[in-house]
Amino acid sequence: MPSLQTAIESHQDSHTRRERRKDARPGELLAAALDLFVEKGYAATRVEEVAKRAGVSKGTLFLYFSSKEELFKAVVRENISGRFAEWDDEIARFEGSSADMLRYCLTSWWERIGSTKASGIPKLMMSEAQNFPELGAFYQHEVMQPGGALIERILKRGVARGEFRPMDLKYGVFMVLGPLLFLAMWKHSLGTCCGMLAQLVPKDYIAAQLEVLLHGFSTGSVCPLPTTKATDS
């Protein structure tokens, strides 16, 4: 028979494992929710499915997240919006040119979000935000606004340092965001129906987009387009 000391140690080990498992549950639930939201969309995902995939009961899920909406918001914060503080700090400490800063921002987005399952969230929002306006407003506040502000900050830096020409910053931000949204759509939708176009290499695509943004298509031998007055906002 096991000694009393052995029994006590076994009980302690079991308790420790349970506590570790309990601490890991929020992360397991968020991972399961991300998988299902990307696979099925927001409307079609049921909390029972999330709980089952995470290996817990529906009641356990509600101990951590009060509703499907709150679960979705937590997924977005865990995988996207929670990264903006880190990016802001990196941009503040960046010492290279504004072109290199923009290049770093876009490639970093691909490495940290675009190449992961989290890149399915923008596609989900594009398809379902109109049906769930409260989630659309949340995504606008937590992702689109800080993301746009980060890009605008880089563009303003480039203009102030004489590295970029004056521009309408609002449209400048859209021009930088556009390729990132295209990559999200390509990965989770367009890539399955584009034939040879589906063979694009994301990092090469980002590099090509940056080349066009920074230098344009023109060789300088064509007549320039009419210009409009640039604004700062």
Pseudo-torsion of CA 196, 198, 203, 209, nearest 10°? 80
Q: CB of 173 within 8 A of CB of 152?
A: yes
| Sign of the torsion angle spanned by Cα atoms 111, 156, 139, 24 | positive
> Would the pLDDT of 218 be above 60?
yes
Which residue did the predictor score with more confidence, 9 or 221? 221
CB atoms within 10 A of CB 116: 16
Architecture of domain 4-74: Orthogonal Bundle (1.10)
Give mean pLDDT, residues 38-51.
96
> Would the pLDDT of 40 be above 60?
yes
Boundaries of every domain in the chain? 4-74, 80-215
pLDDT band at 46 (very low <50, low <70, confident <90, very high): very high
| Candidate from 10-19, 59-68, 75-84, 218-227 with smallest mean pLDDT | 10-19
- Whole-number Å distance between alpha carbons of 67 and 61: 9
**pLDDT score, position 131:** 96
**pLDDT score, position 36:** 97
Assigned CATH class of 80-215: mainly alpha
**pLDDT score, position 22:** 62
Q: What is the pLDDT of residues 95-140, one digit of tens each?
A: 999 999 999 999 999 999 999 999 999 999 999 999 999 999 999 9
